[in-house]
């Protein structure tokens, strides 16, 4: 039996892939099993010093994701002898990655795409795993999809359970059982009772913070080099654009040191000093960059983020470019405002080549990590597809060994 801890981008696909080969699987998930429309209630809280978005519920952060699906870190993974080209193809077909039909490209997104192209920027429609036939274009992707129109890890968990996998929810793994440098199982708390489950194969997919805390209980010094792909959203006024109801992040501009995507944020209005501006009238763009892995997880599980000159420089370049796009798109330049600096892609806490080998195994035999923790550097772009492809690769390795 294989124990999988966590049901986000990393854990869910491994559970599905193993269960469909009739390999016994037990999935342990800290959060509850919920409807995706309720996911916004399950965002985590960190200290006031860092604005980091993660969730604790079935599907992990995939359930609040925009379902943006791009390749990332191909060259960096090659350096560790990892080629996930085939796995990308497999996963993209499995979850239906495609650019949205024009019927699902809203007015603000189209203005973004047109302006990006006119400015000669590398501009395209975002590849997504969203089913247009179900999508009601409500703009609530990051709340948890009310129409269940986008892929999330929950889909794979449901399929795994149908295949016979056991799912234990609201159960927090708090310790690893290790003997002679071999994994023997995990300890977890459910309903205030301490339980243990034995297996000689354990996959940690508890996310960059969760896996860090579990690894440390076995003496593995994870979480010392954290990145989180920082972002801000900048936007301004276009009368009656109703951007808040569009499919979010359906366009993409790829710059050298940043990516840009049309993204509504209700936090911008508070920073625009103009009474005529209503939330729905703000066309805004997310600016996301790769950051240096100078953050860390402290002993209480809180995240400390340290910014380098490059982190700030790349963000400033991206914000300036977003400003040009907004102006070209028709935004009143006197109304442009921004959100605070945030992160939603924590990773790098148990990187390949340092804390796990190229098969994602730790120094403890039989203990694997498969989530954003293993990414060797910050991708600076949506990481789910890369995590899915790496996890599919690990599932195949486990099947064959």
Q: Is 9 an interacting residue with respect to ligand FAD (CB under 6 A)?
A: yes
Do residues 42 and 31 make contact, with C-beta atoms less than 8 angstroms apart?
yes
Do residues 181 and 190 make contact, with C-beta atoms less than 8 angstroms apart?
no
Separation between Cα atoms, residue 209 and residue 44, nearest integer Å: 11
Minimum CB distance to ligand FAD smaller for 323 or for 376: 376
- Say which residue the tokens 């047109």 belong to: 114
Answer for which of 31, 230, 251, 380 binds ligand FAD (CB under 6 A) is 31
Give the closest residue to 154 by CA, choosing from 63, 225, 219, 30: 63
Cβ-based neighbours of 139, under 8 Å, separated by 6 or more = 243, 244, 245, 246, 247, 248, 264
208-227 mask for ligand FAD (x: CB under 6 A)? x-x---x-------------
Strands of 91-213 (E only): list them. 98-99, 123-125, 127-128, 166-168, 171-179, 182-190, 193-198, 201-204
Minimum CB distance to ligand FAD smaller for 216 or for 328: 216
Minimum CB distance to ligand FAD smaller for 5 or for 268: 5
| Distances 285 to 25, 211, 250 between C-alpha atoms, Å | 41, 32, 11
| Distances 306 to 243, 291, 383 between C-alpha atoms, Å | 33, 10, 21
DSSP 289: -
Q: Is 6 an interacting residue with respect to ligand FAD (CB under 6 A)?
A: yes
Half-sphere exposure of 310 (CA within 13 A, CB side): 12
Do residues 295 and 305 make contact, with C-beta atoms less than 8 angstroms apart?
yes
Separation between Cα atoms, residue 129 and residue 77, nearest integer Å: 24
Give the closest residue to 385 by CA, choosing from 2, 13, 75, 104: 13
98-137 mask for ligand FAD (x: CB under 6 A)? ----------------------------------------
Minimum CB distance to ligand FAD smaller for 157 or for 322: 157
Stretch that binds ligand FAD, among 66-74, 130-138, 270-278, 333-341 (CB under 6 A): 66-74
Minimum CB distance to ligand FAD smaller for 323 or for 348: 348
- Measured over the CA atoms of residue 147, residue 55, residue 225 and residue 355, the dihedral's sign is negative
Minimum CB distance to ligand FAD smaller for 337 or for 383: 383
Smallest distance from ligand FAD to CB 309, Å? 25
Residue list 303-362, contact with ligand FAD (CB under 6 A): 344-345
Smallest distance from ligand FAD to CB 22, Å? 24
Stretch that binds ligand FAD, among 8-16, 303-311, 313-321, 323-331 (CB under 6 A): 8-16
Q: Is 142 an interacting residue with respect to ligand FAD (CB under 6 A)?
A: yes
Answer for which of 4, 30, 112, 244 binds ligand FAD (CB under 6 A) is 30
Smallest distance from ligand FAD to CB 345, Å? 4
The tokens describing 146, both together, are: 């009310």
For the beta carbon of residue 308, count every other beta carbon within 10 angstroms: 12
Q: Is 389 an interacting residue with respect to ligand FAD (CB under 6 A)?
A: no
Smallest distance from ligand FAD to CB 86, Å? 19
In the chain, DSSP finds a helix count (H) and a strand count (E) of 8, 19
Do residues 305 and 228 make contact, with C-beta atoms less than 8 angstroms apart?
yes
Smallest distance from ligand FAD to CB 342, Å? 9
Smallest distance from ligand FAD to CB 199, Å? 15
Q: Is 384 an interacting residue with respect to ligand FAD (CB under 6 A)?
A: yes
10-29 mask for ligand FAD (x: CB under 6 A)? x-----------------xx
Smallest distance from ligand FAD to CB 8, Å? 2
Separation between Cα atoms, residue 311 and residue 195, nearest integer Å: 43
Q: Which residue's CB comes closest to ligand FAD?
A: 8
Q: Is 56 an interacting residue with respect to ligand FAD (CB under 6 A)?
A: yes
Smallest distance from ligand FAD to CB 275, Å? 29
Write out the residues near ligand FAD by the rule CB under 6 A.
Answer: 5-10, 28-31, 53-54, 56, 60-62, 64-68, 142, 172-173, 205-208, 210, 214, 344-345, 371-372, 382-384, 387
């Amino acid at each position: 039996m294989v124990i999988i801890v966590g049901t986000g981008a990393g854990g869910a696909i491994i559970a599905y892939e193993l269960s469909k080969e009739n390999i016994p699987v037990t999935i342990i998930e800290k959060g509850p099993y919920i409807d995706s429309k309720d996911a916004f209630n399950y965002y985590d809280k960190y200290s006031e010093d860092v604005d980091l978005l993660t969730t604790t519920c079935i599907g992990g952060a995939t359930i609040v994701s925009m379902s943006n699906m791009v390749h990332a870190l191909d060259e960096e993974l090659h350096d560790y002898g990892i080629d996930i080209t085939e796995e990308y193809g497999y996963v993209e077909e499995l979850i239906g990655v495609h650019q949205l039909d024009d019927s699902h490209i809203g007015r603000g997104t189209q203005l973004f795409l047109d302006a990006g192209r006119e400015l000669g920027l590398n501009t395209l429609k975002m590849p997504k795993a969203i089913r247009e036939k179900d999508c009601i274009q409500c703009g609530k992707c990051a709340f948890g999809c009310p129409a269940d129109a986008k892929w999330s890890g929950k889909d794979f968990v449901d399929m795994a359970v149908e295949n016979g996998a056991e799912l234990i929810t609201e159960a927090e793994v708090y310790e690893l059982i290790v003997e002679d440098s071999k994994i023997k199982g995990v300890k977890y708390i459910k309903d205030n009772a301490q339980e243990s489950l034995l297996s000689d194969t354990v996959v940690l997919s508890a996310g960059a913070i969760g896996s860090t805390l579990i690894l440390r209980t076995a003496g593995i010094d994870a979480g010392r080099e954290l990145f989180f792909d920082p972002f801000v959203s900048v936007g301004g006024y276009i009368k009656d654009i109703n951007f808040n109801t569009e499919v979010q992040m359906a366009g993409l501009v790829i710059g050298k040191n940043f990516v840009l995507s049309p993204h509504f944020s209700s936090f911008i209005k508070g920073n625009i000093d103009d009474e005529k501006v209503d939330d729905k009238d703000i066309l805004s763009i997310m600016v996301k960059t790769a950051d240096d892995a100078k953050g860390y997880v402290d002993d209480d599980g809180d995240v400390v983020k340290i910014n380098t000159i490059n982190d700030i420089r790349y963000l400033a370049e991206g914000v300036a470019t977003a400003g040009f796009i907004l102006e070209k798109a028709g935004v009143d330049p006197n109304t442009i405002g921004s959100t605070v600096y945030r992160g939603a892609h924590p990773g790098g806490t148990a990187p390949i080549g340092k804390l796990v080998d190229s098969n994602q195994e730790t120094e403890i035999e039989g203990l694997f990590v498969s989530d954003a923790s293993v990414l060797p550097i910050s991708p600076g772009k949506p990481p789910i597809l890369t995590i899915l492809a790496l996890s599919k690769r690990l599932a195949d390795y486990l099947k064959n060994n």
